Every structure is written in structure tokens, then in C-alpha cells.
Chains A and B, each alone.
Chain A
Amino acid sequence: MPAQAPWLSLAIWIPVIAGLIVLASGSDRNAREARVIALIGAIAGLLVTIPLFADFDTSTSAMQFVINRPWIERFNINYHLGVDGISMLFILLNSFVTVLVVIAGWDVIKTRVAQYMAAFLIMSGLMNGVFAALDAMLFYVFFEATLIPMYIVIGVWGGPNRVYAAVKFFLYTLLGSLLMLVAFLYLYNKSGGSFSILDYHNLPLTMTAQTLLFIAFLLAFAVKVPMWPVHTWLPDAHVEAPTGGSAVLAAIMLKLGAYGFIRFSLPILPDASHALSGFMITLSLIAVVYIGLVALAQSDMKKLIAYSSISHMGFVTLGFFIFNAYGMEGALVQMISHGFVSAAMFLCVGVMYDRMHSRQISDYGGVVNTMPKFAAFLMLFAMANCGLPATSGFVGEFMVIMGAMKFNFWIAFLAATTLIFGAAYTLWMYKRVIFGGIANSHVAELKDINAREFLILALLAIAVLGMGLYPLPFTEIMHASVNELLKHVAVSKL
């Protein structure tokens, strides 16, 4: 392979360094400079991920763009980065969403602008690090470090109950990840002193060890996904977080958990994964069906979308644990699609919230009369959220249901109810907020979206439609890696 620029390192460190520069730019007197530097940093961060996509070799499942340097020799920890067809897309998604979030916070955030922008940039770099890390300890460092900016974002710029939400978010996630740390240390000792994730793939482990490790990983990742019943932090965090925080949380941070399942649980612990697949499928189905029903009952828009996220993530975990290519690829497509759609939904709620300072559905009604362009965009995203064909939401859900059908009819049947519930809660919310007569004087005074908001929503709309109409480039990228993963999971380690 010819010598390349260290694109992965750049994708991680450009946003982090840009974030530090923004942070150093100081007080709110320089808010404008802070915004501009943040935008430049975010765009530069996105640009350096383009070569990852352009030069990606879809024919191999091996890691690409690998960088491997010793970092902490004392524990044989390496600065080991690389992407395969599974992780590469998330780096793109993350860098893309970061640009949108910076633009979305442009006028809306008025206090401590530099700190706000810096938090998002640093978080973006760290999350790229999670997706690119091939060393377990490097992964852990990035995984944990993302908590710090998110904690600050929720706590400083969040809603009235933000402190409770921020602390709950932090402690819930920390509980899971600390057990994962012990699991890593166990694997380190078992493998004779290696933190390389790829080494763990071929490490023989007994069934007991696999089960215990699986539980430790499950706690870490299930909290992050979040899976029922450890999902309760998410609605709180989403409701209290500022718009950008909610968007990043839903679009990227939840994916860290799901990504953990494919990177750690499945390939390292294949036997435990098979043995506990019934349990995982049950939890996933509860998330899909029960949380779908819960979403129906919400009166707060952000809470509704938060529950809808949990339900959609249930689909993702379902796709992982039915062990076939349709399910797995469907789940990955669903993750990417949910990244776009949930970010879009939260940004839409943000658009309304900035004008009305209310998230209650009952405060709205007839918004289409005053904000027609906005109503059109929200329509598209709502459709994508309920999985209408020709939007990205359809592709993933359809593939997972197909995969589930191969596995067991009744599982597929239950999973498919999401098409009904999803449509019910999304469209019902849409109807109550957008249609009907103008509900009150505040709605009558609403102004339609400005150019900045139009730009964000248009970019997301293109992504949603593009992925819905022509998903092939996405599935093509992940194909080789998914097949390799499935082959690996099928082989027992006992």
C-alpha cells in the first residue's frame, strides 16, 4: 500500500485541536470568532474523512488506513487505529453531524459560546477515536472521555432539570463502562498481555468466561444503546439537553453502544452471543414494541423522539443477534439512517423550540399555516422515522425484518409492528403539531425557517432521500466486513 496521509489521526485530532483553539478564544465578547473557528474546524474535520470514503477498498474485510504506534509500552498499549466497512461510515456520519450541529447552534447559543462549540468539536474528535480504535484501552479512553463534554453540554446549556439529567447520564454510562474495563483487563491477562482487539478475536475462552465477559460488555453497551430496561436515562438526557446535544446524543453517541456489540461482544464471545441470543432478542423486541407504545403516550416532543430512538435502536440490536447478513447489514443501515433521521427530528424540534420555548405538543397546532417550508421538511423526516419506502428509514427496517423472517416468523412479526406503532406516534404528533387551525397567538406569530436552518434541514433531507433511494453504496462498503464478522461468529471458541 502506498504511503498515505494519516487520515484517521487527522479525523480525530483536527476537531479536538480546533475545539481547544475555540476554547482558548475566550469569553462571549469574541463569540463571533469562536463560531467561525468552530465551523472551520468542523468542516476541516469533515474534509479529512472524504479520503476515507474515496480510497476505501470494498473488496476486503481487513482493517484499512491502519496506524499502529506504541503508546504506553508498560502495558503494551498501542495507538492503533484502523477502519473496516463497519466503522468507516460512522466516522463520516459523525463528522457530518458535527458540522450541522455547529451551524444549528450558531445564533441560538448566546451564553458561553466558545465553551459550547468547543465541547461539540472535542466530543466529535473523541467519538471518531472510538470508531477508529483497534486497541481496547485506546477504545476505552475515547469511550469514557466522550462523557465529559456531554456531561458539560447537558448540564450547562440544558433545560430546567438539567443537573439531574446530566448526573444520571454520567453515572449510568460510567457504571457500564467500568465493568467493561475489568473485562478488558481480564482479556489482557488471558491473551498474555495484549490489548489488541484483533488479537482477542482468536482468543479461546471457556463458556463461563465468555458469559461473564458478555454480561460486562452487555452492561456497558446496553446502557449506551440504550436497551430496555436500562434506557431510563435517555429520555431525561434528551429532554434536558440543548438541541445540538440531543442531536449528537441520538445520532452518534447511541451508536457507540451498538458499535461495541459488533466490535467486541459478537466476534470475541461468539458462543456466549449464541447462547444468550434469545435473551438479547427478547430485550430488543420489548424495546421495539413496549417503548413504541410508550412513545405514543408522550406529550413532550423531545421525549417522544427519545422513546422512538430507543425503539429504533431495539431494531438494531435485534438485527445483530439473528446472525444473518440481512439482519446485520440492515441493523448497520438502520444505525446510519437513524443518525440522519434522529438528528433531523431533534433539529426540527429545536427550530420550533427556539421560537416558542415549548416542547409540549399541546402548545402547537396549525404550524403549517405559518411555517410551510418547515412543515414540508418535517413531513419528510417524519416519514423517514416511520420507515416509509424511498426514505432511509425503510431500508434498514426492511432488511432487519427480512433477516428476522429467515430466523423466526414470530420474531419478524413482532418486529414488524414497529411499522404500525412508529407510524402511529410519529404521524399523530405531526398531525397535532403541524395541521389543524392555528392553535394560539404564539403560533400565529411564527416565522418560517431562515437560510441557516434551511441549509441544515436540506442537507439532512438529501442524505435521507439519497440513502433511501440508492442504498447500494452504503451496503457495498459494509458487505465484506459483515460477511467476515458472520463467519467469525459462526465458529465456536470452545
Chain B
Amino acid sequence: MNLSLPDLLPAYAEIFLLIMACVVLVVDLFLDDSRRYITYALSLATLAGCAFFTAGISGTPSPTYTFNSMFVSDVMANVLKMLTYIAVATGMVYSRSYMVERGLLRGEYFSLSLFATLGMMVMISANNFLTLYIGLELLSLCLYAMVALSRDSAQATEAAMKYFVLGALASGLLLYGMSMIYGATGSLEMTTISRTLETANPNHTVLVFGLVFIVAGLAFKLGVVPFHMWIPDVYQGAPSAITLFIATAPKLAAFAMAMRLLVNGLIPLAIDWQQMLVLLAVLSMALGNLAAIAQTNIKRMLAYSTIAHMGFMLLGLASGVVDGNWLSAADAYSAAMFYSIVYVITSLAGFGSVLLLSRAGFEAENIDDYRGLNQRSPWFAFILMLTMFSLAGLPPTVGFYAKLSVLQAAVSAGQVWLAVVAVLFSLIGAFYYLRIIKLMYFDDPVDTAAIAPSIDMSVLLSVNGLALLLLGIMPQQLMQLCFVAIKSL
């Protein structure tokens, strides 16, 4: 028996993160609250180290497989991982003072965040159903615990419980779907499955049966209608800093999961899953945008907005293969990838603003708390305005180009009617984003407490907000990066 060590180079970042997450866990035991900044710095340094390792291997253009092809490192994985580090690190900076004020800045937060990040990285690099599933479970379990981090809050505990029950159900669905596909093709490895589907002719009924379960599980993780029920409750119930975490980086991982499962693994079944995605997309855009109008809690409003945005992103995934022809597939998938990235950057700024306005004993959760922000802090009102316009998809913010590329994918796939439906729902969506801007600019403040963010947070939030504008003026590089990443699959 030949026991050779697998090539570890593509997985250096993951291995490093795993070690460091354990180190953080242990080191934190010896620290009291006054020296918690060491854990904080160590966590940020860990993410920087991961970025270093990922950057080190990002030169190779073709995919590298390791661990018996269970793990893949390609351009898409590297790009998404880099953005995940950025999102997680930014989220930590935004969350610090919020967590301190609530007594939640304990070691658990950091180690759970890091383990969740590891889960996301494994998902992003998975080339095997089992790897994917392990990554997903690692992420999910960390998230359940993080939602419940505020132990004494009944709302948070309830949210965590809901999240856990529904999440476990979805994982079950996904696993069941995977077993069906395994039954039909005899393999758990994405690339092999794809090859088998093309050459051999497995039982179509079993495949589609499995596919339905896989898509359902995926839809749950993305949070699209009709598998969206957990999103509003969890977003509202979790502490805002945790909501920020859930709403940002895991969306990148969920996108990667969709790409790995549907495109790497099941692309020969595109005709079947595209129809499902179209249905999910239209329902999500409809329900997300309509329900968001009725919300008075900004976290809940952003939760419905997420549902609508993920629906919009699915439009891109659903427009890749036209009549069995995948010439323009890379365009469509890179549009979806661009959309996910833009959504993550934008919602970082959005939830960052929620954290900015919250202070000890006060959660800036009601949209009325944003009244007259322009008079309290013109600069941060401007940043939040850019965020809202980006979510609404208005030029010159980057949100517009995200919408543009997905719509272009839909139109070039000949689905003009779908594009029309999408723009009509985004018109409805514009209403509730505009309402936030209305409150900030047109109304007088009810809350006059001074806004005094820490320096690191204000700098980072400013950079984040301005990035929405700058990427809107210069979207070419990021778009091209997504295209290259998808091409390399």
C-alpha cells in the first residue's frame, strides 16, 4: 500500500487557519476582559496570514486537485477566499465596540468566527460531496452557536433554535439529494459525476429526484423563497454584529457551493436545474421586495432585501446554458459571482452602519432611528445613502453594474421577459431603500446622541462606502476578475 503524503500546498491557508483557530481558543483562556484585544489582534493576524498563503498560490491558472481530488484550488476559490477574509476581518472591526458594550466580546466569538471561516473555505474548495458537506456543517454549527451568543436574550435563543432546526432539516435534504446522485452515478466527486453524466446514461428519474433535494438544500442555505423562512427571524433575533457576519461572507460560500454542485458537478442537468432556479429567483424577488416594504425593523428589512438579492443572483446562474449550448455560460456565472461579491461589500456597509448607530443599551434597529442622520453626521449619512443606492441598483454605485451584468446574462439567454420581471421588482425594491434615504435626509432627528465611532471603524466604514462608488466608476477590474475566475473552472 502506497501511503504518500498528499500535496498540502493548495490547502496551506486552511491548515494554518485550523491551527490558529485552536491557538486563539487556548490563548484566550489566559486572558481577562481587559486584554481581550490580544485575541482580537491575533484573529485579524490569522486572517492576514491566510490571505498571505492564498495569495502565494494564486499564480497557478489551472485547477490543482489534492487529497485524492476531494479538494480543489482554482482561481475562483482563491478569489472568493480572499474576499471572505476581507469580509470576516471587516466584520470583526465593525463589531468590536458593539460586542464590548454588550459583554459579548469573548473568546468564543473569535474562535467561532475563525472556525466558520474555515468551513466557508472548505466549501469554496470542495470537489467532493462529502468535503462540501463537512464544510457546510462546520459553518452552520458555528453560526448556530454565534446566534445564541447572547445567552440571556430570549429573542436570540429563539432565533438560534429556529435556525438550527431548519438548518438541520436543510442539511438532511441536501445529504439525501447527494445520496441519490451517488446512487445514480456511483461517485461523490464532482468532476467524475459530471463526466459520468455525459458519457454513461444514468437513470434520469433518480437524478432529477436527487437534484430536487440538492436544489432545495441549496436554496435554504442561500435563503431564497420558499426556503427563506429562517432569514428574517435570524437576522432580527441575532445580535447585530452576528447578523452582519451571517449576511456577508457566508453568501460567498453559498455561491461557491452552488457553483461546485450545479456547475462543476451537475452541469449536464442544467436544463432541469435552470428551470428550478428561475422559479426560485422570481418568487424570491417578488416576496423579498414586497415583504421588505412592510418592515419597520431595519435588520428585518435587510433580511427581506437579502432574499430579493439572492433571487436576483440566481437569475445569473439560471441563464448560463441556452438550448444545451454553454458558450455564454462563463458570462452568466461570472455575472452571478460579481453580483454576490457586490452584495457582500454593500451589505457590509449596510450592517456596519447599523452597528455604528448602536451604542451601549441601544440597538439602532428601527428604521425611525435613522431619522435626520444627515443632521447628526452628514458623512455617515452619505455613506449609508451610497449603500442604499447600491442595494437599489442605481448608478453610479456598483450595485447598478451587478444588476446590469445579471440582466445582460438573462437577456442574452433570450429571457427578456425574465429581465422585465426582474426590473419591475427592483423598482418595487427601490421604494424601501429610498425610504431610508428619506428618513436620513428629509426628516428631523428624534435621537440626538452623538455618533462617536472608534477611529478604525470610521476609517474602514468610509473606505467601504467609498468603494461602492469607486467600484461603480471603475467596475472593469472586478468584473474581469470574476470572468477569469469562472473561466478557470
Binding site for B on A (CB under 8 A): 27, 71-75, 112, 115, 137, 140-142, 144-145, 147-148, 151-152, 155-156, 162-163, 166-167, 170-171, 174-175, 178-179, 181-182, 185-186, 188-189
Task: Evaluate contact between B407 and A185: CB separation under 8 angstroms.
Answer: yes
A144 proximity list for chain B (CB < 8 A): 394-395, 400
Task: Evaluate contact between A72 and B395: CB separation under 8 angstroms.
Answer: no
Task: Evaluate contact between A181 and B483: CB separation under 8 angstroms.
Answer: no
Nearest chain A CB to B263 CB, angstrom units:
20
- Give Cα distance in the complex from A144 to B430, angstroms: 13
B434 proximity list for chain A (CB < 8 A): 151, 167, 170-171
Within 8 A of A (CB), among B373-427: 374, 378, 389, 394-396, 400-401, 404-405, 407-408, 411-412, 416, 419-420, 423-424, 426-427
Cβ contact of A166, chosen from B395, B427, B438, cutoff 8 A: B438
- Give Cα distance in the complex from A237 to B442, angstroms: 15
Cβ contact of A182, chosen from B374, B416, B441, B483, cutoff 8 A: B416
Q: Write the chain B residue with the least CB distance to A154.
A: B442
Cβ contact of A148, chosen from B389, B412, B476, cutoff 8 A: B389
B405 proximity list for chain A (CB < 8 A): 74-75
Task: Evaluate contact between A155 and B411: CB separation under 8 angstroms.
Answer: no
- Give Cα distance in the complex from A38 to B401, angstroms: 31
Chain B interface, number of residues (Cβ within 8 angstroms)? 34
Give the residue among A75, A156, A179, A182 with the most B Cβ atoms within 10 A: A182
Cβ contact of B438, chosen from A147, A167, A181, cutoff 8 A: A167
- Give Cα distance in the complex from A172 to B408, angstroms: 23
B435 proximity list for chain A (CB < 8 A): 167
Q: A75-B405, A148-B389, A156-B441 are in contact. List 10 more A-B contacts (CB 8 A).
A: A74-B475, A112-B374, A141-B395, A155-B441, A156-B442, A167-B434, A174-B394, A182-B411, A182-B420, A189-B412
Nearest chain A CB to B388 CB, angstrom units:
10
Main DSSP-derived SS at the B contact region = helix
Task: Evaluate contact between B427 and A178: CB separation under 8 angstroms.
Answer: yes
B483 proximity list for chain A (CB < 8 A): 74
Task: Evaluate contact between B427 and A140: CB separation under 8 angstroms.
Answer: no
A151 proximity list for chain B (CB < 8 A): 434, 437
- Give Cα distance in the complex from A72 to B401, angstroms: 10
Task: Evaluate contact between B423 and A179: CB separation under 8 angstroms.
Answer: yes
B378 proximity list for chain A (CB < 8 A): 27, 115
Task: Evaluate contact between A152 and B441: CB separation under 8 angstroms.
Answer: yes
Q: Is B296 an interface residue (CB 8 A)?
A: no
B419 proximity list for chain A (CB < 8 A): 182, 185
B430 proximity list for chain A (CB < 8 A): 170-171, 174
Nearest chain B CB to A339 CB, angstrom units:
25
Q: Write the chain B residue with the least CB distance to A187.
A: B411
B431 proximity list for chain A (CB < 8 A): 167, 171
Q: Write the chain A residue with the least CB distance to B394.
A: A144
A162 proximity list for chain B (CB < 8 A): 442
Task: Evaluate contact between A141 and B411: CB separation under 8 angstroms.
Answer: no
A166 proximity list for chain B (CB < 8 A): 438, 442
Q: Is B231 an interface residue (CB 8 A)?
A: no
